[in-house]
Structure 1
Amino acid sequence: MKSKQIQMYTDMIRGAGLKATPQRIGVLKVLSEMTSHPGAEMLMEALENQGYIMSVGTIYNILETFSEKGLILKLKDNQEVMRFDANTKFHVHIYNENDNAICDYFDPELEILLSSYLKEKLPDQFSLNRMELSLYA
């Protein structure tokens, strides 16, 4: 019997119009549990530690598909390495230039402020689908 958590990931994947394969469910589950914004290799190691065995190519394909469908975000770190984030809700990414870490900063007030401001300022032909804000420290 599937746990509620696995069912949630299954529903998210299906909601994006994708088949919910065990590999896709595993990648989304493990990535969602990570706060470090891992690269593909770091994600592969975390997957293996939880019993999921798949090739780097499979992981890259899944990540690319998830990104295209809006299930995850792709980020480049300070060294231009692709990193991934399963949290697609508004939050700020703070890039630490000393250790190449990416931290999340959550501020609902900031989201409301920016959304309101941009709603008023964007030209009529544009609508705000998603906001991303990055800070470098």
Structure 2
Amino acid sequence: MNADLQKYRERIKSVGLKATPQRISVLKVLSETDEHPSAEMLMDKLKNEGSIMSVGTIYNILETFEEKGLILKLHDHNEVMRFDARTGFHVHIFNKKTNQIEDYFDNDLEVLLKDYLKDKLPKDVTLDHLDIALYSQSA
């Protein structure tokens, strides 16, 4: 198994899941795209790489990955579920005209927000994940 596939195998196993060929393929394709695909878009990408799976299998894998924290689930402005393998802090910019989702990374913003919220949240709340979405109408 090449180094890239081994990386995905280890990432899947690190959350207590069995690293099946289907799971490895889904995580690989999702990790190597910037498009934030829907399950159907992901199915087409997998098919182009020679991995043919039913949409139900893909949805089951995506749901399991999201539950285990391997991926993020987003809803575009049409309420279609889209997926992102980048789980660290970043902002999603939704373009309402093109229906594209773009990642925006800003470490200073993350520090600023976490510092601000540290003393503002109720004492029994621990910040696990911070999600920010911006919506654009530019072409």
- Cα deviation 1:6-29 (Å, max 9, x = unaligned): 111111111111000000000000
Matches within 5 A, 1:64-79: 64-79=63-78
Equivalent residue number for residue 23 of structure 1: 22
- With 27-36 and 118-127 compared, the bigger mean Cα shift is at 118-127
- Cα deviation 1:47-105 (Å, max 9, x = unaligned): 01111111111101000110111100000001010000000000000011111111100
Q: Structure 2 counterpart of 1:132, which letter?
A: D
> SS of the counterpart of 1:75?
strand
Matches within 5 A, 1:75-90: 75-90=74-89
Equivalent residue number for residue 10 of structure 1: 9
Query: Once superposed, which parts of structure 1, at least 4 consecutive aligned residues long, lie more than 6 Å away?
Result: none
> SS of the counterpart of 2:119?
helix
Q: Structure 2 counterpart of 1:111, which letter?
A: E
Shift in Å, 1:119? 1.0
Q: How many angstroms apart in 1 are the aligned matches of 2:53 and 2:115?
A: 44
> How many residues of Structure 1 are paired with residues of Structure 2 in the alignment?
136
Matches within 5 A, 1:31-110: 31-110=30-109
- TM-score normalised over the length of structure 2: 0.95
Consecutive unaligned residues of structure 1, counting only runs of 5 or more, are: none
Identical columns (%): 62
Q: Structure 1 counterpart of 2:110, which letter?
A: E
Q: Structure 1 counterpart of 2:89, which letter?
A: F
> SS of the counterpart of 1:124?
coil
Q: How many angstroms apart in 2 are the aligned matches of 1:117 and 1:5?
A: 38
Q: How many angstroms apart in 1 are the aligned matches of 2:118 and 2:8?
A: 32
Shift in Å, 1:109? 0.5
Q: How many angstroms apart in 2 are the aligned matches of 1:8 and 1:119?
A: 34
Consecutive unaligned residues of structure 2, counting only runs of 5 or more, are: none
Q: Structure 1 counterpart of 2:113, which letter?
A: L
